[in-house]
């Protein structure tokens, strides 16, 4: 498996002057680190804007400076070269682009001065057969796995979930793996575990929470609420078929603050960018 990358993810200097923020750089670095950590092959596209306008350029929309026959000819040539590469290597798993770019946007692009438009930029739009992810979705690679861990069955399920998530190139923090799995611990251990778990929650991109049972585990519920208050996306996993109301599986506050999934396939579909590790 390999990914095709918008080139400015590796070389931010290719972007128009003044548009790259520290948040952008952090996202770019997280994406590259994720792929390197899991051995995902990275292939970088050429930058059509840099080739046409030069590296030191001010921001502009497609219609202002790129809507020309010469630029379309350049895109034709670049598409042929990339299609030739795909013929040699096989179809990539996905393209990783950068939203708002007039050429390499995924969900949003600047085609006209009136504002951002929905859809791919003019370069990525030439590859509708290949899925594309915005770099910020790919950068969401850290998962805090919350769930009850008091029985052998619960701990075994948690480990299975962690392994499943890691198979899609996610860095998973599982509390039971750092010692939160025994009743024979003193107050010092309590404070250390709480501190480590809280730090992991503060630095996670996604919380995946197990909410099986007649009622959701209280610690898991706290972690879900904390994440929701911090604006961290929460994906709940409930394989339990019991209901507590006409349309309520476990608790409306938990269900309304999370995307609820019922099996591993639904969990994978709810993740922002699962990258299967070969």
What is the share, in percent, of the chain residues with pLDDT greater than 90? Answer: 79
Q: How would you label 51-77 residue by residue, b for 16+ Cβ within 10 Å and e otherwise?
A: ebbeeeeeeebbeebbeeeebeebbee
Supply the mean pLDDT for the chain.
Answer: 92
pLDDT tens profile 67-124? 999 999 999 999 999 999 999 999 999 999 999 899 999 999 888 777 778 999 999 9
Selection from 169, 111, 162 nearest residue 137 by Cα: 169
Tally the C-alpha atoms within 13 A of residue 226's C-alpha that lie toward its C-beta: 20
Nearest CA to 101 out of 181, 9, 193 is that of 9
Q: Is the pTM of this model over 0.85?
A: yes
CA 182 to chain centre: 33
Q: Mind listing the pLDDT tens digit for each residue in 190-237?
A: 788 899 999 999 999 999 999 998 888 999 999 999 999 999 999 999
Q: Are 169 and 277 in contact (CB under 8 A)?
A: yes
Q: Where do the domains of the chain lie?
A: 2-138, 141-270
Between CA 232 and CA 201 the distance in angstroms is 9
Architecture of domain 141-270: 3-Layer(aba) Sandwich (3.40)
């Amino acid at each position: 498996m390999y990914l095709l990358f918008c080139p400015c993810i590796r070389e931010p200097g290719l972007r128009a002057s003044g548009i790259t923020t520290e948040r952008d750089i952090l996202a770019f670095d997280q994406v590259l680190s994720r792929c390197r950590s899991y051995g995902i092959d990275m292939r970088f596209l050429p930058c059509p804007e840099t080739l046409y306008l030069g590296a030191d350029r001010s921001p502009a929309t497609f219609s202002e400076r790129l809507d020309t026959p010469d630029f379309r000819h350049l895109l034709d040539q670049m598409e042929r070269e990339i299609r030739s590469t795909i013929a040699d290597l096989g179809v990539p798993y996905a393209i990783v682009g950068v939203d708002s770019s007039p050429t390499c946007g995924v969900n949003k692009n600047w085609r006209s001065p009136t504002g951002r438009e929905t859809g791919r930029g003019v370069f990525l739009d030439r590859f509708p057969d290949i899925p594309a992810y915005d770099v910020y979705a790919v950068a969401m690679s850290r998962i805090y796995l919350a769930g009850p861990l008091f029985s052998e069955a619960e701990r075994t399920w948690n480990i299975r979930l962690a392994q499943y998530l890691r198979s899609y190139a996610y860095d998973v923090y599982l509390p039971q793996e750092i010692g939160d799995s025994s009743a024979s611990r003193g107050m010092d251990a309590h404070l250390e575990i709480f501190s480590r778990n809280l730090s992991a929650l503060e630095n996670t991109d996604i919380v995946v929470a197990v909410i099986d049972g007649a009622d959701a585990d209280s610690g898991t519920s706290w972690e879900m609420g904390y994440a929701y208050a911090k604006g961290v996306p929460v994906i709940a996993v409930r394989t339990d078929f019991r209901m507590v109301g006409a349309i309520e599986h476990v608790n409306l506050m938990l269900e309304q603050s999370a995307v609820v999934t019922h099996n591993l396939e639904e969990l994978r579909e709810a993740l922002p960018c699962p990258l299967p590790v070969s």
